[in-house]
């Protein structure tokens, strides 16, 4: 059984994501912002983070950066509706920062559930170039 952390400041999105995964036998934990998400990541075993990018306190890109530096084996599915900047620009940035996969909101059952299962079955991406680590990240020439 995998542990999935759903992070979104919108309680409706958290509820929808949880309901879409209800059929699975995974343990699901929720967080309303990136600061709480990081506390959960440091305190508990997390296998996958479903992560909104636009949130108060600590945004999704900062969470990706921190998680990639401290817990590179956690898989990350970045989600966004994009706000004023448009979802694709935020999701492209999430990939650069180290998200394993990206998806636009609203979430759809078949594609969301299949993406979660695929991510849980494969290893995490390599850390992004902006991962927060004790050592400088290697940047390819």
pLDDT, tens digit (0-9, with 9 covering 90-100), for 80-106? 986 555 556 889 999 999 999 999 988
State how far the Cα of 35 lies from the Cα of 63, in Å rounded to an integer. 8
CA–CA distance, 16 with 107 (Å, rounded to integer): 8
CA atoms within 13 A on the CB side of 18: 15
- Please state, in angstroms and as integers, the Cα–Cα distance from residue 14 to each residue in 4, 17, 20, 72, following that order: 12, 5, 10, 24
SS3 30: strand
Is residue 65 within 8 Å of 93, Cβ to Cβ? no
Strand (E) or helix (H) holding 68: helix 60-70
Q: Percent of the chain beyond pLDDT 70?
A: 82
Q: Which class in CATH covers the domain with range 3-121?
A: alpha beta
Phi-psi region of 127 (alpha: psi -120 to 50; beta: other; left: phi over 0): beta
- Look at the alpha carbons of 21, 23, 25, 29 in this order and tell me if their dihedral is positive or negative: positive
Low-confidence winner among 12-16, 25-29, 70-74, 124-128 (lowest mean pLDDT)? 124-128
What is this structure's pTM?
0.86
CA 16 to mean position of chain CA atoms: 16
pLDDT band at 130 (very low <50, low <70, confident <90, very high): low
């Amino acid at each position: 059984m995998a542990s999935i952390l759903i992070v979104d400041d919108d309680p409706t999105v958290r509820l929808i994501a949880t309901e879409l995964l209800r059929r699975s036998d995974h343990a699901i934990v929720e967080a309303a912002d990136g600061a709480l998400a990081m506390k959960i990541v440091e305190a508990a075993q997390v296998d996958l983070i479903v992560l909104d990018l636009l949130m108060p306190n600590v945004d999704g890109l900062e969470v990706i950066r921190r998680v990639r530096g401290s817990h590179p084996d956690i898989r990350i599915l970045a989600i966004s509706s994009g706000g004023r900047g448009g979802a694709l620009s935020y999701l492209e940035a999430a990939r650069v920062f180290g998200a394993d996969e990206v998806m636009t909101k609203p979430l759809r059952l078949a594609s969301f559930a299949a993406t979660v299962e695929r991510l849980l079955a494969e290893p995490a991406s390599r850390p992004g170039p902006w991962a927060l680590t004790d050592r400088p990240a290697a940047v390819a020439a």
